[in-house]
Amino acid sequence: MTEYLNEYLADKATLLVQENFAGVDAEWWWERRLGGGIEVCQVLDPERMSREIAQRTGAPVPEVRRAVEEDLGLEDQEPVVLTFELSGETPAAQAAHELRDRSGDYRGLASGAYRRVEASVGSSGGG
């Protein structure tokens, strides 16, 4: 019998998230949503991201900062919160798989943004 997120009580939902959204090197938390869904929230520090990408690619930090701001649609380097939501109708096995997918890289929910910015500064001749 298939179990769904909206059938999970707090302890079981906590265990599901903690076991499957692991290894992320950033501040993150999860919240229960109306309808029994789960929302994972992760802080992304654009300044840290800029320094890490500049170090890896050899691109100048100011160039990387601009690329980060453009990619994320930011006006400054203040930290932002990225979110990922699973509805209450999501089967628990699928939820576990999706949580593992989004935390398979230490950058967690920010991994796609890192890849896009690295590609953009790499293609601009910075590294």
The identity of residue 91, as a single letter, is P
Mean pLDDT of the chain: 94
Parallel, antiparallel or unpaired: strands 28-32 and 80-86: unpaired
How far apart CA 115 and CA 35 sit, in angstroms, is: 33
Asked if 57 and 118 touch (Cβ cutoff 8 Å), the reply is yes
Beta carbons within 8 Å of 94's beta carbon, 6+ residues apart: none
In three-state secondary structure terms, 126 is: coil
pLDDT of residue 123: 66
pLDDT of residue 126: 47
How far apart CA 67 and CA 116 sit, in angstroms, is: 9
Domain segments of the chain: what residues?
5-123
Mean pLDDT confidence for 82-90: 97
How far apart CA 36 and CA 65 sit, in angstroms, is: 38
Q: What percent of the chain has pLDDT over 90?
A: 91
Per-residue pLDDT of 46-71, as tens digits, reads 999 999 999 999 999 999 999 999 99
How far apart CA 58 and CA 73 sit, in angstroms, is: 23
Beta carbons within 8 Å of 116's beta carbon, 6+ residues apart: 71
